[in-house]
Copies of this chain bind each other. A is one copy, B any other.
Amino acid sequence: MSGFANTDASADLVRDLVDANHILYQQGIVDAFGHVSARHDHDASRFLLARNVAPARVCARDIVQYAVATGEPLASDAPRGYLERTIHSEIYKARPDVMAVVHNHSPAVLPFCVARGARLKPVCHMAGFLGGADAPDGPALFEIRDHAGAASDLLIRSGELGAALARTLGAARVVLMRGHGCTVVAPSLRVAVFRAVYTEVNAKLLLGSLPLGEVVALTAEEADATRITNEGQVTRPWELWRDQARSEHSPAT
């Protein structure tokens, strides 16, 4: 059985991964670029990620199986993959708790990847996952110049860079990437999509709030408490977004 267009992961997971691609596009979190993966649900040493195609256009047959160990496809005849797939593989390697990874250039998040000193702290209850005991000041910023010098193309092109990014992520749920975007992780695919959307919502809110005066961030305790509460409600937004994405999606490949 070929690794391309076929996987022994559950059909539910593949279907959710296709939906996740379309939801992230429809919610404005990815454009023609960005990608979302899920760890294989029967084999933790593998993960599922689309071939090199825009998320809005991903179909089930575009899903490819990769090895966590190498970031390379399992099948020798796999189609061309995304350049930055070691973002996914190295995070799955470093964080056994992570079951899904989203990488994007989320538009309101990018200013926090560009302006020195700006911190993407959680300021509303829907985005508690940005802070808490694991990330008391909000997501850390990965400066690729510290690892690849000042002449790189900013992409995570190697296992070494993926591992460095995973170290900056640490135990947190989001890591910002200077001049580039962010990467979001979660214990499930649906929660990863939820976190990617509300990272953008919180960023937009901060962009609106900072000019008004001193901003009140959630305490670490509030952040952890809201995260636990909201992520128990993840079915509500997922079903809404999925239905919308399906009604607007006309697959074209």
**Contact check: which of B118, B214, B240 meets A117 at CB < 8 Å?**
B214
Tell me if B237 and A124 are in contact (CB < 8 A).
Answer: no
Nearest residue (CB) in B for A54 is B240
Residues of chain B lying within 8 A (CB to CB) of residue A240: 32, 54, 56-57
Nearest residue (CB) in B for A177 is B125
Tell me if B52 and A204 are in contact (CB < 8 A).
Answer: no
Q: Is A205 an interface residue (CB 8 A)?
A: yes
Tell me if A241 and B32 are in contact (CB < 8 A).
Answer: yes
Tell me if A225 and B54 are in contact (CB < 8 A).
Answer: no
* Number of copies of this protein chain within its complex: 4
* 17 residue pairs A–B, Cβ–Cβ below 8 Å: A31-B237, A32-B237, A32-B240, A107-B204, A107-B205, A111-B205, A111-B208, A113-B124, A115-B209, A115-B212, A118-B213, A124-B180, A125-B154, A154-B222, A179-B218, A207-B208, A247-B250
Query: Which of A39-47, A62-70, A95-103, A145-153 interfaces with chain B?
Result: A145-153
Distance in angstroms from A62 CB to nearest chain B CB is 12
Tell me if B212 and A111 are in contact (CB < 8 A).
Answer: yes
Tell me if B108 and A208 are in contact (CB < 8 A).
Answer: yes
A237 CA to B56 CA, complexed, in Å: 10
Tell me if B216 and A116 are in contact (CB < 8 A).
Answer: yes
Contact pattern, A 140-166, Cβ under 8 Å of B = 1, otherwise 0 = 000000000011111100000000000
Residues of chain B lying within 8 A (CB to CB) of residue A112: 212
4 tightest Cβ-Cβ pairs between the two chains A and B: A151-B221, A32-B237, A115-B212, A153-B225
Residues of chain B lying within 8 A (CB to CB) of residue A152: 222, 225
Nearest residue (CB) in B for A204 is B107
Known: A33-B126, A236-B54. A150 touches B115 (CB 8 A): no
Q: Is A110 an interface residue (CB 8 A)?
A: yes
A199-236 CB contacts (< 8 Å) to partner B: 201, 204-216, 218-219, 221-222, 225-226, 228-229, 233, 236
**Contact check: which of B33, B123, B218, B229 meets A155 at CB < 8 Å?**
B229
Contact pattern, A 26-54, Cβ under 8 Å of B = 1, otherwise 0 = 00000111000000000000000000111
Residues of chain B lying within 8 A (CB to CB) of residue A57: 239-240, 243
